[in-house]
Homo-oligomer: A and B are copies of this chain.
Amino acid sequence: MPRTAETASFKFNHTMIRVKDPQASLKFYTEILGMDLVAENKFETFTLYFLAFDNGTPTTPENRFQREGILELTHNHGTESDPNFAGYANGNSDPGRGFGHIAITVDDVEAACARFEKLGVKFQKKLTDGKMKHIAFILDPDGYWVEVLPGSFKPQ
């Protein structure tokens, strides 16, 4: 649908989630999922990490707000080593139910999930669990759900 002039420039640039330990999260999102760390902004009490999949146009700290599909991780300094920090809610159970998941589409979901298993990734739902055999859910280091499904999937 054509957009009105007032919203014609709008883009869904990013999704932000808080993470306990940035080293664990960066390893997961870059090494296991293959995103690039495109910018890092350190403030006094927190650091923001911006990640994205390479889409052919280089994403830089300067142009990162001009595309879609960015993931922003917020690290509040100290949570990674605070024995009293209980961790973040992943949004899928009470209390805290609301946010559900992020989703990664892939060409070959069987190969992607086989690789995740080999790399020791935790699954919320394997391809073989339940009725929907083309969809898996893996867990990031904070327990956030990451859906994995084929980009070619055509539901009814």
Residues on the B chain within 8 Å of A33, using CB: 7, 10
Q: Across the interface, do A12 and B69 meet the contact criterion of CB distance under 8 Å?
A: yes
Q: Across the interface, do A34 and B6 meet the contact criterion of CB distance under 8 Å?
A: yes
Q: Restricting to A1-45, which residues have a CB under 8 Å from any CB of B? A: 1-4, 6-18, 33-36, 39, 41
Cα-based distance from A151 to B152 in the complex (angstroms): 30
Cα-based distance from A16 to B91 in the complex (angstroms): 10
Contact among B8, B34, B101 with A10 in the assembled complex (CB-CB below 8 Å): B34
Cβ of A89 under 8 Å from chain B? yes
Chain B's nearest CB lies how many Å from the CB of A134?
A: 10
Chain A residues bordering chain B, tally (CB within 8 A): 70
Cα-based distance from A73 to B90 in the complex (angstroms): 16
Known: A65-B150, A68-B69, A149-B65. A156 touches B41 (CB 8 A): yes
Residues on the B chain within 8 Å of A54, using CB: 1-3
Q: Across the interface, do B151 and A66 meet the contact criterion of CB distance under 8 Å?
A: yes
Residues on the B chain within 8 Å of A88, using CB: 97-98
Cβ of A155 under 8 Å from chain B? yes
Cα-based distance from A33 to B8 in the complex (angstroms): 10
Cβ of A55 under 8 Å from chain B? yes
Residue of A34, A74, A99, A149 ringed by the most chain B CB atoms within 10 A: A99
